[in-house]
Chains A and B, each alone.
Chain A
Amino acid sequence: NAGVMQNPRHLVRRRGQEARLRCSPMKGHSHVYWYRQLPEEGLKFMVYLQKENIIDESGMPKERFSAEFPKEGPSILRIQQVVRGDSAAYFCASSPSGGNNSPLHFGNGTRLTVT
């Protein structure tokens, strides 16, 4: 049973470009979470999605960031017009039941570097 799959593992973008990060949850998991980890900081919640629905986006910056989890295919975290401060590791996690009774399972992350 494959775990949470994220790609790419590493992504380099110049300032002003767009970054697209993909996450395929574990088989049977329909709840996806995105977290960002800055150096020397803990994981910070960004957004929680179920299929075709954004449930909680309270941790998402209001501008340039968006997320989706379509009926078919992976969840996508999209960052438009990237700036240096967006450089971080972005982790996706999934759970079968919203995390209330089962722990989140994390992917290996995408390390975004903005030059």
Chain B
Amino acid sequence: EDKVVQSPLSLVVHEGDTVTLNCSYEVTNFRSLLWYKQEKKAPTFLFMLTSSGIEKKSGRLSSILDKKELFSILNITATQTGDSAIYLCAVLHQAGTALIFGKGTTLSVSS
């Protein structure tokens, strides 16, 4: 059965810390991996990764995919309280009809 596993499930850090969120997957016919940030409402898109070893960056956030070891990491440097959210990892099949989501990592950043 296809699955996406995120770790840790929750994390509490202080402002300014750097965090690394993990996502491993077992999916037949992998196509791409996506990261979303979910605050109180809609998940908002962060990154889409399709190729191994190419880092994607957006401000203090970055992500990379390892297709050989079947995982991705999401890094957040110099965390701020506004980074507090649930971070969701999802994988797309080659067929491309449905994203398979992990349960998410709940990040809490304290000031």
* Stretch of B65-73, B74-82, B98-106 with 4 or more beta carbons under 8 angstroms from chain A: B98-106
Over the window 58-71 of chain A, the binary record of Cβ atoms lying under 8 Å from chain B Cβ atoms (1 yes, 0 no) is 11000000000000
- A-B CB pair tally, cutoff 8 Å: 56
* Complex: A91 Cα to B45 Cα, angstroms: 14
Inter-subunit contact B98/A100 (CB<8 Å): no
B51 CB to nearest A CB, Å: 13
Write the residues of chain B forming the contact surface with A, with a CB cutoff of 8 angstroms.
4, 31, 34, 36, 41-45, 48, 88, 90, 92, 96-104
| Residues in B neighbouring A3, C-beta threshold 8 A | 42
Residue contact A107 to B42, C-beta cutoff 8 Å: yes
Report chain B residues within 8 Å CB of A96. none
* B103: nearest chain-A partner, CB-CB: A42
With contact pairs A41-B103, A100-B31, A103-B34 given, residues A59 and B98 touching in the complex (Cβ less than 8 Å): yes
Chain A nearest CB from B106 CB (Å) reads 10
Q: Which residues of B contact A35 (CB under 8 A)?
A: 101
* CB neighbors of B among A8-31 (8 A): none
Min CB gap A30→B, angstroms: 14
Per-residue CB proximity of A37-49 to B under 8 Å, as 1/0? Answer: 0001111110010
